Amino acid sequence: MEVIIRERAGDAVSLTGAIIARALRKRPNLVLGLATGRTMVAVYDLLVAMYEDDGLDFSLARTFNLDEYIGLPPEDPDSYRFYMNKHLFHRVNIDLRNTHLPNGMADDIDAGCAQYEETIQDCGGIDLQLLGIGSTGHIGFNEPLSAMRTRAKALSPETIEQNFPRPHPSKGVPKRAITMGVGTILECRRCVLLATGEGKAAVVAKAVEGPVTSMISASALQLHPKCTVIVDEAAAAQLEHKPYYRWIFENEPEWEEYR
């Protein structure tokens, strides 16, 4: 794992978008892992701008999202399918048949999860996985004590509160989700985790500099061979080794073109 600190949230988003765009230009049929949440809206806005202004081409890209709520159909505005269509898929030239999310409406959830893993393998595995982080340390919906493979997971009360702030919608809130497992994520060739804002500072410090523990699923990324954590100064506030992280961005050849 390496940590890159950018001054403002917008700078962290720009770097994230630039990494994705570069990967897509290099490999037009990139297998791209996608994430949801408020943080990612700005990333998708940026990718859409690159599509509109610079011809960033999604026509051959294949995508796999990390997670989906159980019991929410695609047309539900709270579902992650709806989110992805709204923020990215309907705004660029991607073929919707190449976009995948776990099916939270499947009759047989376990079979659907196994099928999801198989489809990822059939596509050759995920080249670049975009990640956010929840306050419980989750990546995808890998809440504390998470397992390795795609499966159903009970959401924590904290996550439900964060993703569905009160007053809750009249239809009620989902209590479970399907998520790629920690192992599914660790198998991605490259991971990029983006976290911005002071609200993320405590959990980022635990995930990056704390012990590797299934209580903080994102800490597993410390062991990934190519994981970049991109944070703004606010989200980096509680990190102890900032001078080292800054040195990496200033000196490592990989970052030269992004400086």
List contacts with ligand GLP (CB under 6 A): 35-39, 66-67, 132-134, 140-141, 159, 163
State in angstroms the smallest separation of the CB of 18 from ligand GLP.
19
Residue 54 to residue 225: CA distance in whole angstroms? 31
Burial class from Cβ neighbours inside 10 Å (0-12, 13-18, 19+) for residue 167 reads exposed
State in angstroms the smallest separation of the CB of 67 from ligand GLP.
5
State in angstroms the smallest separation of the CB of 43 from ligand GLP.
10
State in angstroms the smallest separation of the CB of 38 from ligand GLP.
3
Q: Give the residue among 2, 41, 7 at the shortest CA–CA distance from 235.
A: 7
The residue among 26 and 166 lying less far from ligand GLP, judged by its C-beta, is 166
* Residues written for the chain: 259
**With contact defined as beta carbons under 8 Å apart, do 230 and 255 qualify?**
no
Residues whose CB is less than 8 angstroms from the CB of residue 43 and which lie 6 or more positions away in sequence, other chains included: 13, 16, 17, 20, 130, 194
**With contact defined as beta carbons under 8 Å apart, do 147 and 181 qualify?**
yes
Residues whose CB is less than 8 angstroms from the CB of residue 225 and which lie 6 or more positions away in sequence, other chains included: none
Q: Give the residue among 88, 84, 248, 109 at the shortest CA–CA distance from 179.
A: 109
Residue 147 to residue 49: CA distance in whole angstroms? 37
Residue 218 to residue 173: CA distance in whole angstroms? 25
State in angstroms the smallest separation of the CB of 132 from ligand GLP.
3
State in angstroms the smallest separation of the CB of 48 from ligand GLP.
18
State in angstroms the smallest separation of the CB of 39 from ligand GLP.
3
